[in-house]
């Protein structure tokens, strides 16, 4: 009998196929003592395994490219962390085997992160994966991973490590479902980049029997177990209609009555540019420059290296708009040379602009590099600061931009509720706002964006979050300035219409989402979008907000 489960849809599309589960195995090695004269040999084994796993992660990253490459390179850095390796050496010196030393050292570090309130939950998942890969290599057993199958299937897992997600074969993996994770987790981001339908945060998915026929709707987050022929036909027809609409949707983003809504791309570096250009992005709405800094957590990249990376992105959009976010370090993106190591609550501590104002030389170098990268190019460069709390922050950033001789528009990200509430004040110092809905939801609802248990509060359809978006957009309109959205909310086609109705002036998203959003916007007038936005804000829950907006746009 057909039953329906609901999680969080994070990647558009429909997948119908049989369940295959991610391979699992117990990778906890036995606790046995070794003679003292074997310690040096075991330490050597541990180091060789660490280097081999780091090399494998880097190789997978090179194959995957784009944001996946940055994520996997960050994992490789975790594997080679000097403090972790020193702890492994100490454990082996007092009698542990190489595999047990690795297991215990990584598990101890994991407990420290979890004990800090799980603000590093995303890092915890990556740490587990790195540990398992090293231990598997030392034990000489296969690493649990994607099942071996000649037939297409839907993958079910507790969670997916970036190393597995990045190299999924879309011809075999029709879609995937995880029990954990959230809309901004690594798995979700990489799924969108791959164009694979996906649902996360669906408790109980692991209980589905191997071979069960399911249908996955990555747009709504619905999973249908043993779907009827009618349901399969309905989903297939809807998917075909979406595909047909995408094929005919070209050109700039706009509503059906001609109201322009520029559709921009979120990129992490030059490797993401080709997909953005192919999708018809009108520019870049979020250039995440932190990926350039993650190559070496101990020091900032040189000005020359930064100029080279920035110019490659700027050159790809002649006459286009490129919005660069200066380094957003801290919390789940710690850098040894920049962020404190002893903060009890990093997400509420010195991160983003706060870190840069504490290290003005790092900010100055980055702004100077951006100025040099833009020299002689007809691009419209805009530079924004992350984690702006108030007018004082905005003024400090604008002053730093002017001192660096940067000829660009200066903007502020709205990620903290105070910035939305006092948007008009902030706009006295900067020329535009950009809403980072991922962090704005996190701080509005006190809900860690990496923790699946609170994913309900990370839903960008939450009416309270829509209220903050409306406040920001209204303030920007009153000041005659622009207000875009660069968080994951913009990648939802229906929500993109609501955001447009709230007064947002541009939308930025992963390249794979641009055709979906363009096609959906083109179906409705601005007035319809405004009515849908009002209906969504009048609801009490995220689910009801979506339903209300859908009802308005469908004419019900």
Query: Of 275, 259, 290, which is closest to residue 506 (Cα–Cα)?
Result: 259
**Catalytic residue status for 486:** yes
Helices (H) and strands (E) in the chain, counts: 22, 16
Token pair, residue 139, equals 């034990």
Please list the residues that pair with 264 across neighbouring strands.
Answer: 508
324 pairs with which residues across the strands?
287, 383
- How far apart (Å, rounded) are the C-alpha atoms in residues 186 and 123? 10
Residue 155 tokens, joined:
């993958």
Q: Which of 95, 82, 100, 123 is CA-nearest to residue 46?
A: 100
Q: Treating both helix axes as pointing N-terminal to C-terminal, what angle do 463-478 and 493-502 enclose, rounded to 10 degrees?
A: 40
Structure tokens at 135: 């231990």
State both tokens at 104. 């215990």
Q: How many CB atoms lie within 10 A of CB 318?
A: 9
Percent of residues in the chain assigned helix, strand, coil, to nearest 5: 50, 15, 35
Given 186, 359, 483, 529, the catalytic residue: 186
Asked whether the CA dihedral 57, 59, 60, 66 is positive or negative, the reply is positive
Phi, psi for residue 239 in degrees, rounded to 5: -65, -40
Q: What is the DSSP letter of 237?
A: H
Distance CA 502, CA 517 (A): 16
> Strand 8-11's sheet: what is its strand order?
3-6, 222-225, 213-217, 14-21, 153-157, 173-178, 198-200, 8-11
d(CA 159, CA 54): 21
Exactly one of 401, 483, 486, 497 is catalytic; which is it? Answer: 486
Give the span between the Cα atoms of 438 and 117, in whole angstroms: 19
- Burial level of 405, CB count in 10 A (0-12/13-18/19+)? exposed
Backbone angles phi, psi at 483, to 5 degrees: -145, 105
C-beta separation of 537 from 462 below 8 A: no
Query: DSSP code of 293?
Result: H
**DSSP at 489:** G
Tokens for 529, please give them.
């979008």
CA distance to 65, 203, 392, per residue, from 472 (Å): 35, 35, 17
Residues labelled as active-site residues: 186, 486
């Amino acid at each position: 009998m057909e039953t329906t489960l609901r999680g969080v849809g994070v990647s558009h599309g429909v997948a119908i196929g049989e369940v295959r589960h991610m391979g699992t195995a117990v990778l906890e090695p036995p606790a046995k003592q070794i003679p003292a004269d074997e310690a040096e040999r075991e330490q050597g084994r541990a180091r060789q395994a660490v280097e081999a796993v780091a090399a494998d992660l880097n190789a997978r990253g090179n194959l995957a490219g784009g944001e996946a490459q940055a994520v996997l390179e960050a994992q490789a850095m975790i594997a080679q962390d000097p403090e972790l390796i020193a702890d492994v050496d100490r454990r082996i010196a007092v009698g542990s085997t190489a595999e047990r030393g690795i297991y215990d050292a990584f598990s101890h570090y994991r407990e420290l992160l979890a004990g800090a309130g799980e603000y590093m939950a995303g890092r915890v998942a990556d740490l587990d994966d790195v540990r398992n890969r090293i231990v598997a290599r030392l034990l000489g057993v296969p690493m649990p991973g994607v099942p071996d199958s000649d037939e297409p299937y839907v993958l079910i897992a507790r969670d997916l490590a970036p190393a597995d997600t990045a190299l999924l074969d879309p011809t075999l993996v029709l879609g995937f479902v995880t029990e954990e994770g959230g809309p901004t987790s690594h798995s979700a981001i990489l799924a969108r980049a791959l164009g694979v339908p996906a649902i996360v945060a669906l408790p109980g998915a692991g209980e589905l029997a191997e071979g069960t026929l399911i249908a996955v709707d990555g747009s709504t987050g619905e999973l249908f177990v043993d779907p009827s022929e009618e349901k399969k036909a309905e989903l297939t027809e809807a998917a075909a209609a979406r595909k047909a609409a995408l094929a005919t949707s070209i050109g700039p983003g706009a509503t059906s009555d001609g109201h322009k809504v520029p559709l921009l791309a979120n990129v992490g570096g030059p490797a993401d540019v080709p997909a953005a250009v192919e999708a018809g992005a009108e520019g870049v709405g979020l250039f995440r420059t932190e990926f350039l800094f993650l190559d070496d957590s101990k020091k900032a990249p040189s000005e020359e290296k930064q100029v080279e990376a920035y110019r490659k992105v700027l050159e790809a959009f002649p006459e286009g708009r490129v919005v660069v976010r200066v380094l957003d370090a801290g919390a789940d993106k710690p850098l040894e040379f920049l962020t404190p190591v002893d903060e009890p609550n990093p997400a509420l501590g010195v991160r983003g602009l706060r870190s840069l104002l504490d290290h003005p030389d790092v900010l100055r170098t980055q702004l100077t590099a951006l100025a040099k990268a833009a020299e002689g190019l007809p691009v419209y460069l805009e530079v924004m600061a992350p984690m702006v709390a108030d007018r004082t922050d905005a003024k400090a950033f604008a002053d730093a931009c002017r001192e660096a001789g940067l000829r660009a528009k200066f903007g502020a990200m709205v990620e903290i509720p105070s910035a939305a509430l006092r948007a008009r004040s902030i706009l006295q110092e900067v020329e535009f706002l950009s809403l980072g809905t991922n962090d704005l939801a996190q701080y509005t609802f006190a809900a860690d964006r990496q923790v699946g248990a609170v994913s309900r509060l990370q839903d960008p359809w939450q009416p309270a979050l829509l209220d903050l978006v409306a406040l920001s957009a209204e303030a920007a309109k009153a000041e005659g300035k622009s207000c875009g959205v660069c968080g994951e909310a913009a990648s939802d086609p229906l929500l993109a219409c609501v955001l447009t109705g709230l007064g947002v002036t541009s939308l930025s998203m992963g390249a794979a989402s641009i055709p979906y959003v363009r096609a959906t916007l083109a179906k409705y007038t601005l007035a319809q979008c405004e009515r849908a936005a009002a209906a969504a804000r009048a609801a009490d829950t995220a689910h009801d907000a979506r339903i209300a907006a859908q009802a308005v746009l469908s004419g019900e």
